Amino acid sequence: MAPKTSDYLNIKSINECVVATEYAVRGEIVSIAQEMAKVIDAKGKDSGYPFEKIVWCNIGNPHILGQKPITYFRQVLALCEYPALLENPAISQIFPSDVIERANLILKNIPGGVGAYSESAGAFIVRKLVAEAVQRRDGVFCDPDNLFMTDGASPAVHYMMDLLLREDSNDGLMVPIPQYPLYSATLTLYGGHLVPYHLNESSGWSLDVDVLRKNLYAAREKGVCVRGLVVINPGNPTGQCLSDKNIVDIVHFCYDEGLVLIADEVYQTNIYVDDKDFNSFRSVAHREGLLEKLPVVSLHSISKGFVGECGRRGGYMEVTGFPNDVKEQIIKLASINLCPNLSGQICCALMMNPPKEGEPSYELYASERDAILGSLRRRAQVLVSGLRKLEGVTCNDAEGALYAFPCIKLPAQAVAEAKRIGKQPDWLYSREMLDATGIVVVPGSGFGQEDGTYHFRTTFLPSEGDIGSVVDLLSVFHAKFLTKYGGL
């Protein structure tokens, strides 16, 4: 008699690392919200909920909240997806000349077009265009052979985990707390150790190298072989922009301690304060004379910035200071996946090489870019200002990225209720917020936080027409929550 499927395929018989992995931004509260959304879609105002729609503030997904795509990018992509349009006699009346020229350049250099496999590291024309843009940005040479195009930044993180975390070892990575849960999730998935270093909330989520050193040495004393350090700039979920001094200190710390520096820089165009600029870690390493001496991994993506092409899945990873035989192993990892999708590759090249001043598409491109970034700055200010008015809530400025990460004091009765149901207190707060308002946020416990503190992460991506009502809903909910649980 054949065995039952459940005898050999069950939760105890699969990879325990997969079972242990958690990813907060798509966690339990989001799953509940998705079920609510289905009910609202089916029943409308008869859904039984005290709201008419779900407001997705849990993840940086701009287009789902109404942000429009950049026209130039979509026009070039349209021609690359359907090259027959280029043969239309009226093409020059439909598309600007620089769009046509860019599509022809790309298609000429990608045999078979977007439906064919490219090189595993990405189409050379794309890597060449990205390398030229990185060099313009930093004033430092970028070798296309150091670039790996990826389906968003996430596969690059998987590559590094696969590469650095050895089987049956005690390897780990230093990760900021709070952190983007991709890092804790992949460390768990690959069997590595998360070595935390806490950012200082009271000083704007700043980074202290003395804390890095203390935590590194403590991990080593416990037998953890720390392979690298992750830094997210601008920060996610914290929104802070590192100072130039911080970046210099981190570069030297990694060099002195023999750590691979993994620089997550996907929010590099999302900076909303006048006294901060983006400086890439690779450019600072070059300035300090360490670019070829220190292994640096630089990550970027088309999902963030003002582009927001999350579903298209495009990005790149640049590796510098890596021995050639190690780079060959990264190529091997990329080869296992054959190649990243061509549409995402092309969009990444366009993001890094937008229309230049004087070209036909420039004025529209610049106006769309500036409108999105200007609106994000205003929405960030509205949200943070509103949060600061709530009793028991503090919130640092959202200097960059797409999020606010307020600290919330919760009543003792709420903390006790959370313990009773086996949840974190900020999970209870976030769940009741969803039930009352339809707003989806992520509990701070999913990102890591200092013991005894509670937070939640929310985007400021709802439109300028909606962000005020989001703040109003939050304010009413917060007051009722405090009252329900006995006040502060």
Structure tokens at 351: 């993001």
What stretches of 168-293 adopt beta strand conformation (E)?
171-177, 193-198, 225-232, 260-264
Ramachandran area for residue 292 (φ above 0: left; ψ -120 to 50: alpha; else beta): alpha
Q: Determine the longest span between alpha carbons in the chain, in angstroms.
A: 76
Looking at residue 195, its pLDDT comes to: 95
Q: How far apart are CA 440 and CA 229, in angstroms?
A: 31
HSE-up (13 A, CA, CB side) for residue 4: 3
CA distance 408 to 368: 36
The Cα 154–Cα 158 span in angstroms is 7
CA end-to-end span of the chain, whole Å? 63
- Residues 271, 299: Cα–Cα separation, whole Å: 17
Would residue 95 be called left, alpha or beta, if left means φ above 0 and alpha means ψ between -120 and 50 degrees?
beta
The C-alpha atoms of residue 252 and residue 283 are separated, in whole angstroms, by 13
Taken in order 370, 371, 376, 382, is the CA torsion positive or negative?
Answer: positive
The DSSP line for 253-280 is HHHHHT-EEEEE-TTTT-B--TT-----
Q: pLDDT of the chain along its 488 residues, tens only? A: 788 878 777 888 878 878 877 776 677 899 999 999 999 999 988 888 999 899 999 888 888 888 899 999 999 999 999 999 999 999 999 999 999 999 999 999 998 999 999 999 999 999 999 999 999 999 999 999 999 999 999 999 999 999 999 988 899 999 999 988 889 889 988 999 999 999 999 888 988 899 999 999 999 999 999 999 999 999 899 989 998 999 999 999 999 999 999 999 999 999 998 888 899 999 999 999 999 999 999 999 999 888 989 988 999 999 999 999 999 999 999 999 899 999 999 999 999 999 999 999 999 999 999 999 999 999 999 999 999 999 999 999 999 898 999 999 999 999 999 999 999 999 999 999 999 999 999 999 988 898 899 999 999 888 888 899 999 999 999 999 999 999 88
Contact criterion met (CB below 8 Å) for 83 and 361: no
Phi, psi values for residue 303, rounded to 5°: -75, -25
DSSP state of 178: S
* 3-state SS, residue 19: helix
